[in-house]
Amino acid sequence: MLNVQSITKSYGKKQILDGISFSIQEGEIVGLVGENGAGKSTLLQILATLAKPTKGKIFLNDQAYDEHKKNIRKQIGFVPQDIAIWEEFTVEENMAFFEKLSWVNKSKQQLKQLCIDMSLDKWKEPVHTLSGGMKRKLNLAISLIHDPKIILLDEPTVGIDLKSKKEIANHLKTLATEQNKIIIYISHDMDEIISLCNRILCIGDDPFYQNILESSGKHIVTF
C-alpha cells in the first residue's frame, strides 16, 4: 500500500500542495486530475522520489520514503510529462541502454515485448524519425523495464492515437489486476480517466471538474 500523509509543497512563498493525504491499495489504478498548475506533476515527482515534500510523510508498505529512498526508487516506474529518451539511438538501443541502467536482466525478446505491449512496433528505427506519439509509447515501455511495483504516469498518452490509447489502457488494467501494480495516471482527458481508473483524485474544487467527475459515478477525492 502507498500511504501519503499530509503532504505540503511550497516553492518559496508559493504553496502548491496543502496537506494532501490518501492511500492506494495494490491493484488500483488512480486518476489524478486538476487544472493547469494545480500541482499534479509536482505531486507525482514527490511520489517518484524526484522532489521532496516541504512537510508530510510517504510510506510504501510501511517503509518511509525518507528512510528507504534507494529501495523505494527500485520499485518505481515513472513517465515524466516531458519525453526523456535518446533521439539518436534506435528504439532497440534505447531499450538496451535503459535495461543496462536498471538492476534487472531482460532478454532482447522481453524488451521487444514491452514495446509491443505499448503498441510500438518500431524496433530498428532511430528515435528522431518517430512521431511524437511513438516516442511517448517508447517512454512508457522504458518505464516498465525493471518491473516496478508503482507506475507513475504524467500525461503519458498525449498525442497517441485512439486505438493505441485503448490498447495501452487495456495493458495497464492487466498490470493492475494480474500483477497487483499501483498505477497513478495524470490526464486532462476525462473520458480516458473515467474509463481507466478505479478512483479519481482531484486537486482543486473547481465546479467544472467536480460536475464532470460526479456524473461518472466513480469514487472521487478532492484536495
Ligand X SMILES: Nc1ncnc2c1ncn2[C@@H]1O[C@H](COP(=O)(O)OP(=O)(O)OP(=O)(O)O)[C@@H](O)[C@H]1O
Residues that bind ligand X (CB under 6 A): 11, 16, 34, 36-42, 81
| Smallest separation (angstroms) from ligand X to the CB of 193 | 13
Instruction: Please state the separation of Cα 106 from the chain's center in Å.
Output: 22
8 Å CB contact between 125 and 91: yes
Roughly how many angstroms between the first and final C-alpha of the chain, as a whole number? 20
Residue 41 as a binder of Mg ion (CB under 5 A): the answer is yes
C-beta of 41 vs 119, nearer to ligand X = 41
* Interaction partner, residue 37 (Mg ion, ligand X, none; CB < 5-8 Å by kind): ligand X
C-beta of 145 vs 160, nearer to ligand X = 160
C-beta of 117 vs 192, nearer to ligand X = 192
Residue 134 CA to residue 47 CA, distance in Å, equals: 26
C-beta of 91 vs 201, nearer to Mg ion = 201
* Interaction partner, residue 42 (Mg ion, ligand X, none; CB < 5-8 Å by kind): ligand X
Phi, psi of 59, rounded to the nearest 5 degrees = -125, 140
* Interaction partner, residue 31 (ligand X, Mg ion, none; CB < 5-8 Å by kind): none
| Smallest separation (angstroms) from ligand X to the CB of 148 | 21
Phi, psi of 103, rounded to the nearest 5 degrees = -110, 15
| Smallest separation (angstroms) from ligand X to the CB of 54 | 12
| Smallest separation (angstroms) from Mg ion to the CB of 189 | 14
* Interaction partner, residue 91 (ligand X, Mg ion, none; CB < 5-8 Å by kind): none
Contact pattern for Mg ion over residues 53 through 82, marking x by CB under 5 A: ----------------------------x-
Grid cell, residue 204, equals: 482543486
| Smallest separation (angstroms) from ligand X to the CB of 6 | 18
Residue 45 CA to residue 196 CA, distance in Å, equals: 21
For every residue of 86-140, DSSP letters joined together read: -SSSBHHHHHHHHHHHSSS---HHHHHHHHHHTT----SSBGGGS-HHHHHHHHH
Residue 134 CA to residue 105 CA, distance in Å, equals: 24
